[in-house]
Structure formats: structure tokens, C-alpha cells
Amino acid sequence: MIVAGFGFSTRAGQDSLRDALKQACEATGVSPDALATADDKAGTLQELATTLALPVVPVTAEALTQQKTITQSARAIQERATGSVAEASALAAAGPGARLLTPRLHAQDRLSTCALAQGATS
């Protein structure tokens, strides 16, 4: 399973989320089977998920902190205790042994990021 993990500002709109996903998909040449983010922000992904006919996987704060991320955002570390919410969400939702296909990539407006991870059994 391939999971698109998202990190985003409260100011990020649907266009920003779509653009971040587009950046990640173009970088890897793959499409996700599910979308994921921190559980308290998962509702924001529902519109995009409905459009793409994909499930949203909410990721707990504890699961976010247990993931090893490639990139390190000072803001994500301060607010979420992880280097990248997008990378950590993708890895956690893809399951044990998952690997990143791409580190977080920014939308053009820099309000959202997306990273893709592949589950170990995919």
C-alpha cells in the first residue's frame, strides 16, 4: 500500500493539498492508495479523499513521534515532536517496515507538504 502523508498549516486550502500531492506523485511516478495526517487534522483531508475515492487514515500523536523522518522542520518538532508530519504520517499509516518513496515536498504556496511511503507488504 502506498500512503500519501500530509502536513499543513491551518491556512492551507484544498488547492494547496492537491498541489502538494501532485508534487509527490510526479516525483515518484506513483499514486497513493490512502491519505494520512495527524488525527486532529484528518477531517481537512476528507474533501480531497472523497474526490480521489481514497480513505483517510488518522495518525495518533504517539504514532507520529515514533517515526524516523528524513527531513527536520523546527516547527514540526516543536508542535508535533516529529521532524515532518507528512513523512511521519505516511510511514505510520503504511505500517511496520514502511519506507519513504519521497521526503516531504511543498506545495507552491508552502502551506502544505506531502510525502509518499510504501508499506513493507506492497
**Domains of the chain and any CATH numbers:** 2-118 (3.30.420.180)
pLDDT at 38: 97
pLDDT digits (tens, 9 = 90+) for 68-109: 999 989 889 899 989 899 999 999 999 999 999 999 999 999
Q: CA-to-CA distance for 25 and 31, rounded, in angstroms?
A: 6
Q: Are 94 and 2 in contact (CB under 8 A)?
A: yes
Full-model pTM? 0.94
Contact 72, 84 (CB under 8 A): yes
pLDDT tens, 2-60? Answer: 999 999 999 999 999 999 999 999 999 999 999 999 999 999 999 999 999 999 999 99
Vertex 94, ends 88 and 96: CA angle to 5°? Answer: 90
